[in-house]
Chains A and B, each alone.
Chain A
Amino acid sequence: MTRSALINLVLFAMLPVTALIALALDEPFIITLATKAAILALAGVGLNIALGLGGLVSLGHAAFFGLGGYAMGILAHHAQTFTPLMEAPFLIEGTKSMPVIWLTAVIAGALAALLIGALSLRTSGVYFIMITLAFGQMLYYFAISWPAYGGEDGLSIYVRNGFPGLNTLDPIQFFAIAFVILAAVLFIAGRLASSPFGLALAAARQNPERVETVGLSPYRLRLLAFVISGAITALAGALFADLNRFVSPTMLSWHMSGEIMIFVILGGVGRLYGPVAGAALFILLEHILGGLSDFWHVYLGLLLLLVVLFARGGMIGALAGREVAHD
């Protein structure tokens, strides 16, 4: 077993071990923190498919995260007020069932990513960064000015949505749901990276002309990666909103996009388990530094600056040593 594989295993086991220890010590708050880390890691894994694998620096992933959140908020809102979502041309009712909400979030995220990606991927480099940022911001302002679903105040859900056979209000059971999804998505993302599609995508990042010469379209590869990435991030958004039982435009704001990117970078770009390490580190910092000072973002900023300027492989890169550093 190589050093980085060992680190990955430790990182992967870290979250459930933390949650189980917290369960034994009867510390539900710690379990909730671990759940939050797992969900944010999921969002990071989503972004990492576009960012690490595809080389697409998207600063608009909060759009998908927030859409997932609103998919949960809107469906649950209609279910708890017993009003149908739509009556004509056919009846759509709200729902409190997690699997249905997840499916809706994934579809909504994929469709939004298809639209945003189809436009943004016509450009590259800085244009792409600015355009994804702008489209994310467009959804943010739309959510603020659209009054039907709470506008700026957001939507509150009284009771967490249900999953067949589980009590989702029990912290450890909800953690289990989030963690199993994270594990499944990590598995899929790992397979994706080594699939013909993943290899072609990585090649399109490194040398688009060459990929084009062998008859593949970098645009279509990137668009597909962007859609998968958006769908996963939206799924994370639905879970995140369920964790808080609350969704607001803040989930769509560009600070959220920046934070999701921070998870990826703190852990290490292009590494499958990077976002897991990054999100866990972020939650840990938020908890420790946030307790020390109200202005903990100053320290987060300094840490991020140091990582970007001096430790380019992120946390895993630093732990695993240079020889396996990602391209």
Chain B
Amino acid sequence: MSTLLLIEQILNGLQFGVMLFLMAAGLTLIFGVMGLINLAHGSLYMVGAFAAAAVAGATGSFLLALIASLIAAAAAGAIIELAVIRRLYDRDHLDQVLATFALILIFSEGTRWLFGSFPLYLDIPSALAGPVTLPGGIQYPAYRLLIIVIGGVIALGLFQLIARTRIGIQIRAGESDREMIAALGVDISRLYTIVFALGAALAGLAGALVGALQSVQVGMGEPVLILAFVVIVIGGIGSIKGAFVGALLVGLTDTLGKVLLPGLFGAFMEPAAATAVGSSLASMAIYILMAAVLLFRPTGLYGSA
């Protein structure tokens, strides 16, 4: 395999990884601060993608579409937090799983009702549709490169938000002692709504960005949700840094596994058998990675016990 192709695949892995980070960051924040497992996070991803596709279809502007995805997902997040999620903080995880699973059913079927079963398409803006030439003569799609940049900027912004701003201090305080910061006069329920809406907005943005690469359809959020869970298990629950490292690990493992494994087995097997074994093993690679991390660090790479 040529070095150029390998570098291109590494970039693809990074692009996939930063998208997973946008999903996993929200999930891990929501878990860290509120102690809530939110299965409906994938639905917020879908809401973002559909909002972007609808706005892009109506106005033709990709930037407006991205803004719409942020607003729609944050609004949907705030609404379900106020209506449903709020009642679940004191419940056990089983109730949280069930109630958020119920939300998935409602969101998925509701979206099918509104938009129909056919996938929508969100076009990449024409300015970004072509490839760019990177140092070393690598041709890489400009849009995918933009996703990597946006993901990196958001990761930096999130670290700054958590580390340096007032709301960030409240979030960290909420993670370590909920009762105490409520006693200190922080409006804890408002903080919860903000954190939930923030996580939702990140998921919605990820949905819109990926929606332009793939198609926008009902159920698109669920595979990503489960990968985001794998990311969190690997990185450690509640840790933004863990989510970032885990997301890149999962993104790279998945992408490179799909490219390299069939070739690897091709070295000593017939081509047809090698493709079958290689691709089925590649589909399992990230879960094997997760199992390996679990064996050595049951609380994840950056998790605390």
A residues in contact (CB < 8 Å) with B: 51, 57, 59, 119, 122-123, 125-127, 129-131, 133-135, 137-138, 141-142, 144-148, 254, 258, 261-262, 265, 269, 295-298, 300-302, 304-305, 308-309, 312
Interface-facing stretch out of B46-54, B95-103, B137-145, B206-214: B95-103
A-B contact count, CB below 8 Å?
Answer: 115
The answer to the question of B105 belonging to the interface, with a C-beta cut-off of 8 Å to chain A, is: yes
A-contacting residues, B224-251, CB 8 Å? 226, 229-230, 232-233, 237
The answer to the question of B280 belonging to the interface, with a C-beta cut-off of 8 Å to chain A, is: yes
Closest 8 CB pairs of A and B: A301-B105, A138-B287, A301-B106, A304-B102, A141-B283, A130-B229, A305-B102, A297-B109
Q: Determine chain A's interface SS by DSSP, over half rule.
A: helix
CA distance A295 to B294 in the complex (A): 39
On chain B, the number of residues with a Cβ less than 8 Å from chain A's Cβ atoms is 41
The answer to the question of B222 belonging to the interface, with a C-beta cut-off of 8 Å to chain A, is: yes
B37 shortest CB reach to chain A, Å = 5
Chain A CB count within 10 A is highest, among B31, B95, B103, B280, for B280
B161 shortest CB reach to chain A, Å = 24
Is B106's CB under 8 angstroms from A305's CB? yes
CA distance A300 to B280 in the complex (A): 34
Is B295's CB under 8 angstroms from A125's CB? no
- List residues of chain A with CB within 8 A of the CB of B229: 130, 133-134
- List residues of chain A with CB within 8 A of the CB of B37: 126, 129-130
The answer to the question of B167 belonging to the interface, with a C-beta cut-off of 8 Å to chain A, is: no
CA distance A216 to B186 in the complex (A): 44
The answer to the question of B276 belonging to the interface, with a C-beta cut-off of 8 Å to chain A, is: yes
B236 shortest CB reach to chain A, Å = 10
The answer to the question of B152 belonging to the interface, with a C-beta cut-off of 8 Å to chain A, is: no
CA distance A126 to B32 in the complex (A): 11
Given A59-B97, A295-B113: A134 touches B226 (CB 8 Å cut-off):
yes
Is A309's CB under 8 angstroms from B291's CB? no
The answer to the question of B33 belonging to the interface, with a C-beta cut-off of 8 Å to chain A, is: no
A-B contact pairs, 21 of them (CB 8 A): A122-B294, A125-B93, A127-B299, A129-B97, A131-B233, A134-B290, A138-B283, A141-B283, A146-B280, A254-B226, A258-B101, A261-B98, A261-B101, A265-B98, A295-B110, A297-B105, A301-B106, A304-B98, A308-B98, A308-B99, A309-B87
Is B105's CB under 8 angstroms from A130's CB? no
The answer to the question of B172 belonging to the interface, with a C-beta cut-off of 8 Å to chain A, is: no
Given A130-B229, A137-B287, A295-B113: A146 touches B94 (CB 8 Å cut-off):
no
The answer to the question of B255 belonging to the interface, with a C-beta cut-off of 8 Å to chain A, is: no
